[in-house]
Amino acid sequence: MSDKTAIITGANSGLGLAVAKRLFEEAGHAYQLTDLRVCLACRNLQKAKFAKQELHEIFGLDIQVDVLELDVSRPASVKQAVEEIKCRYKHIDWLYLNAGIMPVEGVNWSELWPPYPSRILQAFTDGGSLLKVVDSKTPEGLNSVFATNLFGHFLLVRWLEDFLCSQRCPAHIVWTSSSTAMKSHFNIEDVQDQEGIDPYGSSKFGMDLLSLALNNMLNDKGIYSHTVSPGLVITNMTTNILAKWLWYLMSPVVLLMRLINGSWTWDAHHGAEAQIWLSKQDPAILDHTAKYYSCCSPFGKSYVKQSREKLDPELADQLYKKLLKLAQQFETS
């Protein structure tokens, strides 16, 4: 269990930082804190340094925490980060692909009317068309949600592939997907969701497909990929939808909802349960068609639920090929 390395994208706050904290907690129980090295790969380097300082304050100055500048929406930033990773590390045990954006400008309140309990539960569980998501363009002309949530991480994996294959230990890729990943909002002819209504849900379903494709191609090389859903977690992303005080005003409702649906994890610590559970498993024997859901009981006990996803291998292969063709525009000979 010694000498473990984890890279976490989007780790300066929220779920990514919670994963880092819980990895160190597990290290303290299972082996030595100093045997774990965590890299906080973040777009904002200053915020990453604050997160590093917070980890030192909690776990001591002896822990190994690095910061790495990485904007997954920008291919040039991904390429530079890949070169830095190859220079810094001998191997990567866990690659947590967590960075993501969900630019919401409001809520479609009409989706909650009439206010049947089943309708409200479904709306808050999977999002669906409840949220008004607005997209924009990156300087490279890519749709921002697609570039950040899916394509940038695809480039990271692709450009690290030879490095991951050359190491002696297996590499475990863990994608932060979502319960909003719906096939109905994904179009293989429009993978950036330029003409769709839900770029966030489309990107998350794309993650599920891509994870399946990567397993089919890379398992025999010692690289394994799985997706998780953190549940409904209050982070910087969700407070863009409703004010934080309003979310916490709903806390009594959350306790009630947990009786029906454990995916109301609410805080990042519980939301990171599936990521941490996967870190303790042998990736080679896990079901690569399953998604792993972070759940929480009404009494605050975290647990993981596994659900086999109905994913089409041919559709996954088509997506991989489309992303590969797009990636070639940003690769040098």
* pLDDT digit string, tens, across residues 137-177: 999 999 999 999 999 999 999 999 999 998 888 999 999 99
In angstroms, the CA 103 to CA 135 distance is 7
- Using the predicted structure, report yes or no on whether residue 1 has a pLDDT greater than 60: no
pLDDT score, position 34: 84
Give the domain extent around 300.
Answer: 4-330
CB neighbour list of residue 184: distance below 8 Å, 6 or more residues apart: none
- Using the predicted structure, report yes or no on whether residue 237 has a pLDDT greater than 70: no
As given in the structure block, the two tokens for residue 305 are: 């639920």
Dihedral of CA atoms 44, 15, 125, 199 in degrees, nearest 10, equals 30
Q: What are 42-99's pLDDT values in tens digits?
A: 999 999 999 999 999 999 999 999 999 999 999 999 999 999 999 999 999 999 999 9
| Residue 207 vs residues 3, 16, 194, 228: alpha-carbon distances, Å | 29, 17, 17, 10
In angstroms, the CA 14 to CA 233 distance is 9
As given in the structure block, the two tokens for residue 321 are: 């090929």
**pTM metric for this prediction:** 0.88
Confidence band, pLDDT 50/70/90 cuts, at residue 254: low
In angstroms, the CA 265 to CA 304 distance is 11
In angstroms, the CA 315 to CA 333 distance is 29
As given in the structure block, the two tokens for residue 141 are: 């002309």
pLDDT score, position 109: 61
Category of 249 on φ-ψ map: left (φ > 0), alpha (ψ -120 to 50) or beta: alpha
Residue 138: Cβ-neighbour burial (10 angstroms; 0-12, 13-18, 19+): middle
Confidence band, pLDDT 50/70/90 cuts, at residue 28: confident
Other C-beta atoms lying within 10 Å of the C-beta of residue 269: 20
In angstroms, the CA 273 to CA 296 distance is 9
- Using the predicted structure, report yes or no on whether residue 264 has a pLDDT greater than 90: no
pLDDT score, position 159: 97
pLDDT score, position 179: 81
CATH of the domain at 187: 3.40.50.720
Contact predicate 11/272, CB 8 Å: no
Say how many Å lie between the first and final Cα of the chain, rounded: 39
Share of the chain above pLDDT 70, in %: 80
Angle subtended by helix axes 199-218 and 152-166, to nearest 10: 20
- Using the predicted structure, report yes or no on whether residue 104 has a pLDDT greater than 80: no
- Using the predicted structure, report yes or no on whether residue 262 has a pLDDT greater than 90: no
Question: Which residue in the block uniquely carries the two structure tokens 């991951």?
Answer: 164
- Using the predicted structure, report yes or no on whether residue 333 has a pLDDT greater than 50: no
Least confident of 79-93, 124-138, 273-287: 124-138
Residue 174: Cβ-neighbour burial (10 angstroms; 0-12, 13-18, 19+): buried
CB neighbour list of residue 168: distance below 8 Å, 6 or more residues apart: 91
Our count of domains for the chain comes to 1
Report which DSSP code applies to 44: -
Confidence band, pLDDT 50/70/90 cuts, at residue 4: very high
3-class DSSP state of 132: strand
pLDDT score, position 249: 63
In angstroms, the CA 22 to CA 286 distance is 21
Share of the chain above pLDDT 90, in %: 65
| Active site (catalytic) residues | 200
pLDDT score, position 161: 96
- Strands 64-69 vs 131-133: parallel, antiparallel or unpaired: unpaired
pLDDT score, position 290: 96
Confidence band, pLDDT 50/70/90 cuts, at residue 258: low
